[in-house]
Copies of this chain bind each other. A is one copy, B any other.
Amino acid sequence: MSTIKDVAREAGVSISTVSFAINGTAPVAPETKKRIFETIERLNYQPNSAARGLVTRKSNNIGIFVPHPDSSIFTFSGNQLFANLLQGIGEVAGEKGYNLLLAWDRPDKEKPSKVIELARSGSVDGLLFLIPNHDHTIIDQLIEIKFPFVFMGNHYSDKPVDSVDIDNFQASYECASHLLKLGHKRIAFISPGPLDFLVSEDRYEGYSSALKDAYIEPDERLFYVGDDSKASGYRAMEHFFASGESPSAIVAGRDVQAVGILKYAKERGMDIPRDIAVVSFENSQLAEMYDITSYSTDLYVIGNNAAKMLFKLISRKKERQPQNVVIPSELFVRGSCGSVSRNDPLS
């Protein structure tokens, strides 16, 4: 592998001139420049990233911190959406000449966190978090060393932390309101994940606020903790109908849960949306396939904005107030909630 020294020798100039030509950090005579780039081409020279990083104190990597792949939240809604997120991030990173380092934390809690290690070792210049809840220890350490990071699909209420997300409270409020407007009174709620996920909390609060604004007290019998499976939607239905307070409508946490609801309904001969109206989140392919009304969560836009924000943080001169960017999103009304006519699941 050739070095800048080789290029300098072959081109008959000093190494600083080569560096100036490559980085444009000082004027270089046109013919000298031409000679240098020809030699670079000929020798297949590529600056060593470690050497460069040692001087510039930049790695040109940004870390994307995700949950452990075998945790269900990782796929974040089953399908396309992680790819969308990556594309949103990648477009910005590519433009800036940055690479993407994918990392998740070690299962064993004894070793220091992988993120902190990456930050402290200078392996990444900034971090993008795609995690459902907060590890205060990690956040505090990052803040202490003033390391740039942005939360995606999440925000942080306790500390001033930058984030990009949809407004889950508002979204959930709208979902419930939509059902209320259709005349429903007994509206059940399924959380998208465990209750310590901030998204679950925000959604529940949006839902219950909508109900309260309509003078309906949320009934805890119509509350169920769901997860990233069809089965959790199915089980939620079993739970609701065994609770003594059968719902006439459901705010599901994920499209895949809604599919489980559809299954339950079909087995019991219930009609969607006549007997049970369903509204969900994600607006994924599943929602389209099964004609489910669903609130969009555009991960491409979230990733794109988060990456842009991170690069601002990385190159910032002075301190700045953290921002919580809210991505616009909306309810895609389909057949499952009764406002429009219903299509067949397989059509």
Contact = CB atoms under 8 A, between A and B. Distances in A.
B101 A47 contact: no
Interface string A70-93: 100011001110111011001000
Given A48-B121, A51-B54, A83 B69 contact: yes
A296 interface: no
B44 A50 contact: no
Interface in A28-62: 44, 46-51, 53-54, 59, 61
Contacts of A101: 61, 99-102
Contacts of A242: none
Oligomeric state, in number of copies? 2
Contacts of A212: none
B87 A69 contact: yes
Given A84-B69, A121-B49, A90 B104 contact: yes
B49 A122 contact: yes
A266 B145 contact: no
Nearest to A116: B46
A100 B49 CA distance: 16
Range of interface residues on chain A? 35 or more
A244 interface: no
A143 to B, nearest CB: 14
Contact of A102 (B54, B70, B79, B100): B100
Contact of A122 (B50, B70, B78): B50
Interface of A: 1, 44, 46-51, 53-54, 59, 61, 64, 68-70, 74-75, 78-80, 82-84, 86-87, 90, 94, 99-104, 106, 116-118, 120-123, 145, 230, 259, 262-263, 266-267, 285, 289, 344-347
**Which 3 A/B pairs are nearest by Cβ-Cβ distance?**
A46-B120, A50-B53, A69-B87
